[in-house]
Amino acid sequence: MTDKIKEITAYLQECFAGDPTIRRYFSHDSKNFVDILRTPHENGITHLGTIGCFERRMKGLSEDLPDVRAELVTAVDDKYAGLMAETLAGLTFRLDDEVLLYHPNVLIENAIPGNSLTKMRHIYFCHPFLWVDKIPRLQFDEYNVVFLYALPVSDTELEFFNRYGALAFEDLLQNNEIRYNDLARRPVQL
């Protein structure tokens, strides 16, 4: 385990509190992996975070810009923890093959595997609002690592995002006080 992995793991454990477990997820071809830290809480919400997503350089990043890497975090009702762990792993593996930039205000379509538990299929990346004072940006010699909150969104919400943009989308979510952790929530009515 590298020092960077240890530092990221320690930050997530401190941030999430509780009694975490770590599980390794492999890509379909078993060539790549990412660890997911999973911390259930008594309130029925599980906090999840990638450990190792940062090892992938985003292919869409200009060589002229500083190298920034990402780790992904989220919080969901316990019954969705397995599905969201798979989703975070899948998003990590997409960085191995696709030209993607993960940063706040980006929406990734069809990120959540089809499942009868939820109609949410897409992920919106934003600042980790649940841990705003706890999750730092980490600076290593070669690059910075930012933490991005992965928020599940519906097809209707995706349409709104595409039509009106990220700022209007965030306003819509805040004004409707969505239950961010409930993947069975009703989509925001437009």
pTM of the full predicted structure?
0.92
Q: What is the pairing mode between strands 68-77 and 144-153? A: parallel
CB-neighbour burial class of residue 54 (10 A; exposed 0-12, middle 13-18, buried 19+): buried
Instruction: Work out the percent of the chain whose per-residue pLDDT is above 70.
Output: 97
Highest mean pLDDT among 82-86, 145-149, 173-177: 82-86
Rounded CA-CA distance 152/184 in Å is: 10
pLDDT of residue 43: 92
Task: Examine residue 157 and state whether it is found in any structural domain, yes or no.
Answer: no
Residue 145 falls inside a structural domain: yes
Cα–Cα nearest to 3, from 172, 140, 152: 140
Residue 44 lies in a domain: yes
Q: Examine the pLDDT at 154 and tell me if it is beyond 70.
A: yes
Q: First and final CA of the chain: distance in angstroms?
A: 47
Other beta carbons within 10 angstroms of residue 187's beta carbon come to 17
Residue range of the domain that includes 79: 3-102+126-149
Most confident of the ranges 30-39, 97-106, 132-141: 30-39
Residue at 27 is within a domain: yes
12 in a domain, yes or no? yes
Per-residue confidence at 119, pLDDT binned at 50, 70, 90?
Answer: confident
Q: Please check whether residue 185 lies inside any domain of the structure.
A: no
- Nearest Cα residue to 184 out of 119, 98, 112: 119
pLDDT band at 136 (very low <50, low <70, confident <90, very high): low
Nearest to 74 by CA among 49, 37, 94, 93: 49
With a cut of 70, say whether residue 139 has pLDDT above it.
yes
Residue 165 domain flag:
no
Q: What's the average model confidence in pLDDT over 143-153?
A: 92
132 Rama class: left (phi>0) / alpha (psi -120 to 50) / beta? alpha
In a domain, 172, yes or no: no
Considering its fold, how many domains does the chain have in total?
1
